């Protein structure tokens, strides 16, 4: 249950970031889901190398997957910028054990403390945006590999049916590993960011919700690692389910409640807390 004591120092993220990021999370599901469904249907039909003509629908599917890379990158930049924005407003963080309770303004600290806090607060957003950037590159490269499948069925292709089947397997395997690597870095980077949000009272985010995020993204990373190492094949899909549930819930929260930050004239004086 969330207990709001005083909303006077709480502000939504600037520039409508909350709604934009929430919309992008939902758009990523729709765009990549549609694109991958189109591609999988096409690849299944051409697995034996029997198809001899290009398919415009398949190209559209690949382009949707490429567009998803742009959406992923935008999510990384905007959400990381939003988190960083809270630190430049001069809001100090209390000790992690104080999460969920009221705090008085922090006493004056040494001159080196603000600089150290600024660096500490910058690391999680930087890790997150780098992870999302790498994820976007990997997913985009995977989509480009799939476009190579389409080229095998163009009029200029001289490959035999067996060669086509082999190349299709190779290119789709590259896409598979690019996707799993993307999920691995996404899970690690996202878990890092939400662990930071979990231990930070700058954000009006319930501890239980942030904890679920950390666990979900950790499972996503573990599942991707299992798929890459071919340990328990297929487990990656099951372990990605909690992450999907969280991202949809997080997107809806951003669209409805936003992600509030506390700005109290450069000093931390908690006016809201989130408890389970």
Could you report the per-residue pLDDT of 86-133, keeping only the tens digit for each? 655 544 444 444 443 333 344 444 445 555 656 677 888 899 999 999
Q: Could you tell me where the DSSP H helices lie in 109-160?
A: 112-151
Higher-confidence residue of 249 and 42: namely: 249
Average pLDDT over residues 217-233: 96
What's the pLDDT at 105?
Answer: 40
Q: State the pLDDT at residue 55.
A: 74
Q: Give the 3-state secondary structure percentages of the chain, helix then strand then coil, rounded to 5.
A: 70, 5, 25
Write down the pLDDT at residue 194.
92
d(CA 167, CA 161): 10
Work out the mean pLDDT of the chain and round it to a whole number. 77
Distance of CA 16 to the CA centre of its chain: 19
Predicted structure pTM score: 0.78
Q: Output the pLDDT for position 198.
A: 85
pLDDT of residue 8: 45
Q: What is the mean pLDDT of residues 207-220?
A: 94
Q: 181 or 50, which is more confident?
A: 181
pLDDT at 203: 63
Position 46 confidence tier, pLDDT thresholds 50, 70, 90: low
The share of the chain scoring above pLDDT 90, in percent, equals 43
- Helices 235-256 and 161-198 pack at an angle, to 10 degrees, of 50
Residue 115 is predicted with a pLDDT of: 58
Mean pLDDT of 262-271: 39
* Distance, CA of 184 to CA of 246 (rounded, Å): 17
Which pLDDT belongs to residue 261?
A: 59
pLDDT of 87: 59
Q: Kindly tell me if the per-residue pLDDT of 145 is higher than 80.
A: yes
Tell which wins on pLDDT, 231 or 16: 231
Mean pLDDT of 50-65: 78
Is a pLDDT exceeding 60 seen at residue 78? Answer: yes
What residues contact residue 159 under an 8 Å CB cut-off, 6+ apart? 49, 152, 167
pLDDT in the model for residue 121: 75
């Amino acid at each position: 249950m969330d207990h709001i004591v005083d909303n006077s120092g709480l502000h939504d993220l600037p520039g409508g970031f909350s709604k934009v990021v929430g919309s992008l999370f939902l758009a990523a599901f729709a765009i990549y889901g549609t694109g991958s469904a189109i591609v999988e249907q096409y690849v299944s039909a051409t697995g034996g190398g029997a198809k001899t003509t290009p398919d415009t629908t398949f190209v559209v599917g690949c382009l949707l997957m490429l567009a998803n890379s742009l959406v992923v990158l935008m999510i990384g930049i905007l959400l990381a910028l939003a988190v960083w924005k809270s630190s430049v407003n001069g809001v100090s963080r209390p000790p992690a054990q104080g999460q969920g309770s009221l705090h008085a303004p922090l006493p004056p600290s040494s001159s080196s403390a603000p600089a150290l806090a600024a660096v500490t607060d910058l690391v999680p957003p930087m890790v997150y945006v780098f992870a999302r950037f790498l994820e976007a590159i990997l997913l985009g490269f995977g989509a480009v590999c799939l476009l190579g499948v389409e080229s095998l069925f163009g009029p200029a292709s001289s490959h035999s049916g067996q060669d086509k089947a082999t190349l299709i397997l190779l290119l789709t395997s590259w896409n598979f590993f690019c996707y799993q690597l993307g999920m691995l870095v996404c899970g690690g980077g996202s878990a890092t960011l939400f662990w930071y949000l979990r231990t930070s009272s700058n954000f009006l985010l319930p501890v239980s919700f942030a904890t679920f995020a950390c666990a979900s993204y950790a499972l996503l990373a573990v599942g991707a690692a299992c798929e890459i190492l071919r340990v328990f094949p297929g487990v990656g899909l099951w372990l990605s389910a909690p992450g999907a549930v969280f991202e949809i819930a997080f997107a809806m929260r951003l669209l409805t409640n936003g992600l509030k930050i506390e700005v109290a004239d450069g000093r931390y004086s908690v006016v809201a807390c989130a408890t389970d």
